[in-house]
Amino acid sequence: MEYKDRVIINLPSKHLEASARFATGLNLTPMKQTAGFGAMFQHGDRVMIFFHDHKTFGGWLPADRKIADATASTQTIVSLTAPTREKVDEMIEGAITAGAKHGPKMVPNEAEYGMYSRSVEDPDGHVFEVFFNEQCSQS
């Protein structure tokens, strides 16, 4: 696999097995595992999401920083696209079935923006949005 022109998102995980169940439920594609410290997944052709145990993730941080508790504060929202409204629902329901919690409403007036959006919180509290944008799907 070539890593050229990829977006890689690294997230800390307290429970890699729970993160892997969540990602699989969200319909992310599992990637070949190369070590026991992480769980790797792909969304589409260019986005990869890596969940890492706290020891590994913490080793990459500046010495004066610690891993944030995503259930208490949010630094980022991972937004993923889907090709249809039905696929949004399928991904969200799969994540819920795999242990995620329903997340906040991301787009207050979906009709105005031509969007259909839903979100979930993964087992660590990271917010994932899945959306379909009618305007972007028209070519």
Domain around 98? 7-61+69-137
In tens, the pLDDT along 99-134 reads 999 999 888 888 888 899 999 999 999 999 999 997
Structure pTM? 0.88
pLDDT at 139: 45
Q: Is residue 1 in some structural domain? A: no
Residues 86, 68: contact at Cβ < 8 Å?
no
CA-CA distance, 90 to 109, in Å (whole number)?
21
pLDDT at 116: 93
pLDDT band of residue 35 (cuts 50, 70, 90) is low
* Residues whose CB is less than 8 angstroms from the CB of residue 136 and which lie 6 or more positions away in sequence, other chains included: 81
pLDDT band of residue 37 (cuts 50, 70, 90) is confident
Tell me how far apart the terminal alpha carbons of the chain are, to the nearest angstrom: 29
For the chain, give the mean pLDDT.
91
Q: Is residue 2 in some structural domain? A: no
Q: What is the CATH number of the domain that holds 103?
A: 3.10.180.10
Could you give the number of structural domains in the chain? 1
